[in-house]
């Protein structure tokens, strides 16, 4: 009898139709209007009161609705942001109501202004990341053109920085509109490596010694899937530029541009999968 009951409960939890339907029936828009709009504005664009708050103003939800994950939103809404007017909302809203509010925020749309992103990037980021985003500035910043981060991860890095590095949090230096615009600008700087060009380069510059990427020996191992996937692009680039073959292959290697090496790596990765 008891076992049967537990199976019933477990099955209900697994399907969890309760959660889904409860969220559906909650009105996220109305909850937002009642609990958030006084500071964040009815449509997610900060109210006059929100703008005047100290020490930090309320923030635009429209600009970051797509760029901040649910988990982070849930954490901020539930626990608030210490020492700001964003107090914990877990006393005003229950867990399902918070999900409904997040669902509503997630309906907000924003069209990034790339020209503004470029301008703000010029003002705030180029001292370390360089005008072209390739970080040839001697500041130890990352090359944003070869970065693999997605938009959400770029935004996360800008909002929180990387502890222990020169990449500090920019959240209180930039509005959310600026963050969204810069993130999209940075994402558009991305070099899209071209594996087909890499294949051509490989056959011109490498195939006299390496019949295929698979045949390359990486410190005693063939460049198999596993060995290759242990190397990130930066390390593989270093091996190509400074590996044991440079003595022999010489100019063939040293004359390759960084972008050409990106293409070759894209081809190598494809070929060793
Ligand atoms: C009394 C004013 C006030 C109210 C009401 C308020 N907030 Fe905030 N909220 C703020 C402030 C101020 C910040 C900025 C905190 C900071 O500087 O990190 C903020 C930040 C946030 C953030 C993080 C945004 C970002 O870009 O970092 C989220 C998400 C958020 N609020 C959601 C909500 C939701 C959802 C509600 C309603 C349930 C709500 N807030 C109600 C003042 C308010
Ligand atoms: C004072 C120097 C400095 C400034 C200014 C700066 N950064 Fe950085 N940034 C760094 C450093 C250093 C790193 C590498 C951190 C690490 O080692 O993880 C970095 C890393 C990053 C990364 C991570 C890239 C990756 O692939 O891991 C992003 C994205 C980024 N910065 C974006 C920006 C943006 C956008 C701005 C301007 C709003 C900016 N940074 C301003 C120094 C800076
Ligand atoms: C003149 C011959 C020659 C040419 C041309 C050459 N390599 Fe090599 N390469 C070698 C030799 C020899 C090694 C040592 C390992 C081995 O025997 O495979 C090596 C090793 C490597 C390694 C591993 C380095 C390490 O430190 O583990 C990589 C990666 C590599 N080559 C990539 C390339 C690429 C990409 C090209 C074309 C751009 C290229 N090689 C062109 C001869 C060459």
Question: pLDDT for 90-109, tens place per residue?
Answer: 999 999 999 999 999 999 99
Contact 179/155 with Cβ under 8 angstroms?
Answer: yes
pLDDT tens by residue, 193-224: 999 999 999 999 999 889 999 888 887 777 77
Give distance in angstroms: CA of 141 to centre of ligand 3.
Answer: 29
pLDDT recorded at residue 195 = 96
With a 6 A CB cut-off, is 189 part of the ligand 2 pocket? no
Say if ligand 2 is within 6 A of residue 64 CB: no
- Minimum-distance ligand to the CA of 254? 3
Q: Which two tokens stand for residue 246?
A: 């440079």
93 Cβ partners below 8 Å, 6+ apart?
Answer: 31, 35, 77, 101
pLDDT of residue 268: 94
Residues within a 6 A CB radius of ligand 3: 205-206, 208-210, 216-219, 239-240, 243-245, 248-249, 252-253, 264
Contacts (Cβ under 8 Å, ≥6 apart) of 182: 117, 120, 121, 124, 125, 158, 174
- Cα 244 to middle of ligand 3, angstroms: 7
How many angstroms does the Cα of residue 143 sit away from the middle of ligand 3? 25
Nearest to 146 by CA among 256, 234, 229, 254: 234
Q: What is the C-alpha separation between 61 and 44, in angstroms, rounded?
A: 5
**Among 261, 263, 120, 241, CA closest to 180:** 120
Segment 104-159, tens digit of pLDDT: 999 999 999 999 999 999 999 999 999 999 999 989 899 999 999 999 999 999 99
Alpha carbon distance 30, 76 (integer Å): 20
165 lines ligand 2 (CB under 6 A): yes
Residue 20 confidence (pLDDT) above 50: no
Q: What are 237-241's contacts with CB under 8 Å, separation 24+?
A: 237/261, 237/262, 237/265, 240/264, 240/265
Instruction: Look at ligand 3, atom 18, and give the residue with the nearest C-alpha.
Output: 217
Tokens of 82: 């210490």
- Band of the pLDDT at 23, cuts 50, 70, 90? low
125 close to 185: Cβ distance less than 8 angstroms:
no
Contacts of 237 (CB under 8 A, 6+ apart): 258, 261, 262, 265
CA 222 to chain CA mean position, Å? 33
Better pLDDT: 128 or 21: 128
Tell me which ligand sits closest to the C-alpha of residue 117.
2
Ligand 2 binding pocket mutation candidate from 120, 122, 129 (most atoms within 8 A of CB): 129
Give the Cα separation of 266 and 16 in Å (integer): 43
d(CA 2, CA 222): 58
Q: Are 190 and 145 in contact (CB under 8 A)?
A: yes
Asked if 166 and 129 count as a contact pair (C-beta separation under 8 A), the reply is: no
- How far is it, in rounded angstroms, from Cα 156 to Cα 125? 15
* Separation between Cα atoms, residue 234 and residue 219, nearest integer Å: 17
Of residues 62 and 16, the one with the higher pLDDT is: 62
């Amino acid at each position: 009898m008891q076992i049967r009951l537990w199976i019933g409960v477990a099955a209900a939890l697994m399907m969890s139709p309760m959660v889904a339907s409860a969220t559906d029936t909650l009105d996220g828009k109305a909850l937002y209007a009642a609990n958030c709009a006084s500071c964040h504005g009815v449509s997610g664009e900060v109210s006059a009161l929100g703008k005047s708050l100290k020490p930090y103003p309320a923030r635009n939800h429209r600009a970051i609705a797509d760029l901040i994950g649910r988990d982070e939103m849930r954490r901020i809404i539930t626990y608030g942001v210490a020492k700001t007017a964003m107090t914990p909302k877990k006393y005003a809203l229950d867990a399902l109501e918070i999900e409904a509010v997040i669902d509503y925020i997630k309906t907000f749309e924003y069209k990034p202004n790339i020209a503004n992103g470029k301008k703000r990037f010029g003002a705030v980021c180029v001292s370390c990341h360089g005008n072209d985003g390739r970080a040839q500035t001697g500041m130890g910043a990352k090359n944003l053109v070869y970065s693999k981060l997605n938009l959400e991860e770029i935004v996360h890095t800008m909002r929180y920085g990387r502890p222990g590095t020169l990449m500090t949090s920019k959240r209180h230096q930039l509005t959310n509109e600026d963050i969204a615009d810069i993130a999209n600008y940075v994402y558009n700087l991305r070099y899209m490596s071209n594996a087909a060009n890499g294949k051509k380069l490989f056959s011109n510059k490498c195939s006299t010694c390496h019949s295929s990427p698979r045949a390359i020996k990486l410190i005693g191992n063939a460049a198999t899937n596993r060995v290759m996937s242990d190397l990130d692009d930066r390390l593989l680039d270093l091996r190509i530029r400074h590996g044991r073959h440079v003595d022999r292959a010489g100019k063939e290697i040293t004359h390759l541009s960084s972008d050409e090496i990106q293409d070759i790596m894209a081809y190598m990765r494809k070929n060793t999968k």
